[in-house]
């Protein structure tokens, strides 16, 4: 198999020569470098390589080529190699064109000319992008096949779990795929065995539980030790940040995650406002990076395991897991986040997972090719989903209760929605019922201003509303507000009075709950900002107070 190629296009022979030299110096062992002085020359070569199934890892293209803009070249190149990393070579004067390319999601990065010294201005960014491409490429080689019914909730749950844990797989619907029927026949199975997960080595699982599936795909499902300095419940951005800081500062750290690392952020198709990623990144990418970082420092992450109970035993905190195991620690960080509120309308329970989904855009988008998709919600997550679905669906309708998107959505998303032809926004509109026998067939909506009702045919309704904290299991443990968000720090102190049962002669630290040595961070915390950066900030900061708590406990002991 030939090495994957890095394609470099610049009309200046001097720049091209320098770039080729720098790339060869660092990457020649792993990649082939192909250089072209014209876009057309590069396109001809790419078409040939594509026919021969050769791999391309990255394009580095001058922003201002004489015959076409670098960004126009990248559109053609991306159609042939959708996963290759796209990098524009720019000058300070080209920055407007570069920003436009970023806004239209066309490029992954830009590098300013000249890039001397490459050790600072070229290699670090390229290393990162090539590692990302390599990770995608390696996982794409171990593709699982998921065979089942299109409207099976279990099929959806398995697909969602695989996608969110970054395991590539292929959906095969028994209703419309001859391959699905062939696979069943080869395995001597019938439709009553569905869904079935078939591994590349030919082994398979019939209607697996998520834990069985996790074990099959080599996720870590059990803790190595019974005791940790720090246990973090939830591995969304807040939990992962606490994990990175805790482990990097020498604490023996465990993260417990019930679904998939990355939390809500991991379900985002494109995060554009997280500092340091000017071209945006997918939630999956962010989660993947954070997981690697936490593990590199020695944090353990177990998935899928749900924390079901917490109790105190002297100076220790004990956490019971869904499989009955009990783990102990000095300090506990609750980073359990929130999930979408359930939509309480007639018919919805029966159709959840059969056309009605809470979140789930990345997983389901491919199943909605050329269909009409309805999205409920008017905040950023709904906006991102609409933009993502619009790439696959025929038409996307946003059903927004408020009278304008501006109430809850960031301006950059409102602008993107306005410029996407196949997204329609119906404001002052609510879903009041959903109908269907085996799966969703229609929805009934009402306009709150005109009171006009309509029943529309629909097969896909995605709900992105509200925020319900994952705290029902903590009710008798820590103090919460009336909506179930965990109260921390100075919010626990009223007129100088510490919370009931608080026995220490100090007030709770910032982010500390009503139970000493138990902290809450991120979206689950009362008064939190509900943004990735804020959650990461709180998770990181909490570790400082964890140390302070441990020092104080040691002093008292």
Ligand X SMILES: Cc1cc2nc3c(=O)[nH]c(=O)nc-3n(C[C@H](O)[C@H](O)[C@H](O)COP(=O)(O)OP(=O)(O)OC[C@H]3O[C@@H](n4cnc5c(N)ncnc54)[C@H](O)[C@@H]3O)c2cc1C
Q: HEC states along 142-207? A: CCEEEEECCCCHHHHHHHHHHHHCCCCEEEEECCCCHHHHHHHHHCCCCHHHCCEEECCCCCEEEC
User: Closest distance between ligand X and the C-beta of residue 1, in Å?
Assistant: 37
Among 159, 337, 353, 377, binds ligand X (CB under 6 A): 337
Using the rule CB under 6 A, is 258 a contact of ligand X? Answer: yes
Q: How far is CA 260 from CA 71, 211, 282, 444, in A?
A: 35, 12, 15, 33
Q: Which stretch binds ligand X (CB under 6 A): 121-129, 204-212, 233-241, 543-551?
A: 233-241
Whichever of 173 and 297 has its CB closer to ligand X, that residue is 297
| x/- map, 9-48, ligand X, by CB under 6 A | ----------------------------------------
Q: How far is the CB of 258 from ligand X (least distance, A)?
A: 4
User: Pick from 359, 445, 346: which is nearest to 397 by CA?
Assistant: 445
538 touches 245 (CB < 8 A): no
Minimum CB distance to ligand X, residue 351 (Å): 21
Question: Rounded to the nearest whole angstrom, what is the least distance from the CB of residue 461 to ligand X in the complex?
Answer: 16
Which is nearer to ligand X, 384 or 459 (by Cβ)? 384
Residue choice 7, 265, 351, 434 for contact with ligand X (CB under 6 A): 265
- What's the CA angle centered on 410, arms 404 and 413, to 5 degrees? 90
How many of the other CB atoms lie within 10 Å of CB of 268?
28
Find the binding residues for ligand X in span 182-221 (CB under 6 A): none
Q: Does residue 284 interact with ligand X by CB under 6 A? A: no
Under the criterion CB under 6 A, does residue 532 sit at the interface with ligand X?
yes
Choosing from 213, 400, 535, 543, the residue that interacts with ligand X (CB under 6 A) is: 535
Q: Does position 165 bind ligand X by CB under 6 A?
A: no
Query: Smallest gap, in angstroms, from Cβ of residue 309 to ligand X?
Result: 10
Of the pair 106, 336, the CB lying nearest ligand X is at 336
State yes or no: residue 145 binds ligand X (CB under 6 A): no
Q: Which of 309, 531, 547, 548 binds ligand X (CB under 6 A)?
A: 531
| CA–CA dist 267, 499 (Å, integer) | 36
Which residues between 317 and 336 bind ligand X (CB under 6 A)? 335-336
Point out which span in 23-31, 60-68, 532-540, 545-553 binds ligand X (CB under 6 A).
532-540
Q: Left (φ > 0), alpha (ψ -120 to 50) or beta: where does 207 sit? A: left
Reported in sequence order, the residue ranges of 300-376 that DSSP labels E, i.e. its strands, are: 300-302, 307-313, 316-321, 326-334, 338-339, 356-358, 372-376
Phi, psi values for residue 64, rounded to 5°? -120, 75
- Of 33, 167, 256, 287, the one binding ligand X (CB under 6 A) is 256
In whole angstroms, the minimum distance from the beta carbon of 354 to ligand X comes to: 21
What is the CA angle 534-260-308, rounded to 5?
90
Q: Does 303 bind ligand X (CB under 6 A)?
A: no
User: In angstroms, rounded to a whole number, what is the distance separating the alpha carbons of residues 104 and 295?
Assistant: 34
CB of 337 to ligand X, least distance (A): 2
Instruction: Tell me whether residue 5 or residue 264 sits nearer to ligand X (CB atom).
Output: 264
Q: Least CB distance from residue 81 to ligand X, whole Å?
A: 26
Among 338, 396, 417, 461, binds ligand X (CB under 6 A): 338
Q: What is the C-alpha separation between 548 and 551, in angstroms, rounded?
A: 5
Please name the residues in contact with 383: beta carbons below 8 A apart, sequence gap of 6 or more.
398, 405, 409, 410, 413, 414, 416, 417
Per CB under 6 A, the segment of 88-96, 115-123, 174-182, 251-259 that binds ligand X is 251-259
DSSP three-state, residue 213: helix
Percent of residues in the chain assigned helix, strand, coil, to nearest 5 = 35, 25, 40
* Choices 90-98, 146-154, 169-177, 257-265; region in contact with ligand X by CB under 6 A: 257-265
Nearer to ligand X, 3 or 309 (CB): 309
**Binding-site residue total for ligand X (CB under 6 A)?**
38
Closer of 406 and 449 to ligand X (Cβ)? 406
- Contacting residues for 260 by C-beta, under 8 A, at least 6 apart: 161, 164, 165, 266, 287, 303, 304
Task: List the end-to-end C-alpha distance of the chain, in Å, as a whole number.
Answer: 63
Q: Which of 159, 208, 263, 489 binds ligand X (CB under 6 A)?
A: 263
Subset of residues 459 to 498 that bind ligand X, contact rule: CB under 6 A: 470, 473
Shortest Å distance, C-beta 269 to ligand X: 7
Runs of H (alpha helix) within 187-304: 210-216, 237-248, 283-296
Q: Which stretch binds ligand X (CB under 6 A): 85-93, 133-141, 501-509, 526-534?
A: 526-534
When asked if residue 233 is in the footprint of ligand X (CB under 6 A), the reply is yes
Sign of the torsion formed by the C-alpha atoms of 207, 176, 139 and 156: negative
DSSP 485: P
Q: How far apart are CA 215 and CA 170, in angstroms?
A: 19
Q: Which of 46, 271, 331, 443 binds ligand X (CB under 6 A)?
A: 271
103 C-beta neighbours (distance < 10 Å), count: 16
Token pair recorded at residue 68:
């076409």
Contact stretch for ligand X (CB under 6 A) within 84-92, 203-211, 347-355, 520-528: 520-528
Comparing CB distances to ligand X, the nearer of 183 and 542 is 542
- Catalog residues that contact ligand X under the rule CB under 6 A: 233-239, 256-259, 263-265, 267-268, 271, 273, 306-307, 335-338, 359, 380-381, 384, 470, 473, 522-524, 530-533, 535
């Amino acid at each position: 198999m030939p090495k994957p190629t890095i394609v470099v296009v610049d009309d200046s022979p001097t720049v091209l020569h320098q770039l080729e030299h720098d790339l060869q110096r660092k990457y020649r062992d792993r990649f082939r470098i192909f250089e072209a002085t014209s876009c057309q020359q590069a396109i001809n070569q790419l078409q040939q390589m594509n026919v021969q199934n050769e791999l391309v890892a990255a394009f580095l293209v001058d922003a201002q080529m004489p015959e076409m803009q670098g960004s126009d070249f990248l559109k053609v190149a991306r159609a042939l190699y959708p996963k290759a990393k796209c990098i524009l070579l720019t000058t300070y004067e080209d920055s407007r064109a570069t920003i436009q390319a970023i806004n239209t999601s066309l490029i992954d990065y830009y590098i300013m000319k000249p890039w001397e010294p490459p050790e600072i201005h070229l290699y670090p960014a390229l290393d990162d992008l090539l590692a990302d491409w390599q990770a995608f490429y390696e996982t794409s080689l171990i593709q699982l096949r998921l065979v089942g019914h299109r409207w099976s909730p279990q099929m959806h749950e398995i697909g969602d779990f695989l996608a969110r844990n970054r395991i590539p797989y292929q959906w095969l619907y028994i209703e419309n795929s001859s391959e699905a029927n062939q696979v069943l026949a080869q395995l001597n199975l019938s439709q009553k065995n569905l869904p079935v997960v078939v591994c590349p080595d030919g082994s398979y699982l019939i209607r697996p539980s998520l834990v069985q599936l996790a074990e099959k795909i080599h996720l870590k499902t059990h803790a190595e030790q019974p005791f940790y300095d720090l246990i973090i419940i939830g591995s969304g951005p807040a939990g992962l940040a606490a994990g990175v800081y805790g482990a990097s500062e020498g604490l023996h750290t465990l993260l417990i995650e019930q679904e998939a690392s990355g939390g809500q952020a991991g379900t985002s198709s494109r995060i554009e406002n997280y500092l340091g990623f000017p071209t945006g990144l997918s939630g999956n990418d962010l989660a993947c990076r954070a997981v690697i970082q936490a593990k590199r420092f020695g944090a353990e992450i177990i998935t899928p395991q749900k924390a079901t109970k917490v109790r105190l035993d002297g100076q220790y905190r004990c956490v019971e897991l869904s499989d009955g195991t009990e783990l102990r620690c000095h300090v506990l960080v609750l980073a359990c986040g929130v999930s979408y509120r359930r939509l309480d309308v007639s018919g919805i329970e029966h159709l959840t997972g059969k056309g009605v989904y809470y979140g789930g855009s990345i997983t389901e988008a491919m199943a909605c090719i050329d269909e009409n998709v309805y999205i409920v919600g008017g905040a950023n997550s709904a906006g991102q989903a609409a933009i993502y679905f619009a790439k696959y669906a025929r038409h996307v309708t946003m059903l927004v209760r408020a009278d304008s998107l501006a109430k809850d959505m960031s301006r950059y998303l409102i602008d993107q929605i306005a410029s996407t032809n196949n997204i329609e926004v119906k404001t002052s509109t609510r879903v009041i019922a959903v109908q269907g026998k085996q799966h969703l067939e229609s929805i009934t909506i009402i306009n709150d201003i005109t009171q006009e009702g309509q029943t529309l045919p629909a097969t896909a309704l995605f709900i992105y509303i509200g925020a319900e904290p994952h705290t029902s299991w903590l009710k008798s443990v820590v103090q919460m507000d009336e909506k179930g968000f965990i109260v921390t720090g100075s919010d626990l102190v009223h007129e100088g009075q510490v919370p009931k049962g608080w026995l220490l002669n100090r007030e709770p630290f910032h982010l500390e709950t009503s139970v000493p040595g138990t902290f809450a961070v991120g979206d689950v915390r009362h008064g939190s900002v509900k943004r990735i950066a804020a959650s990461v900030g709180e998770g990181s900061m909490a570790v400082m107070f964890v140390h302070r708590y441990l020092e104080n406990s040691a002093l008292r002991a």
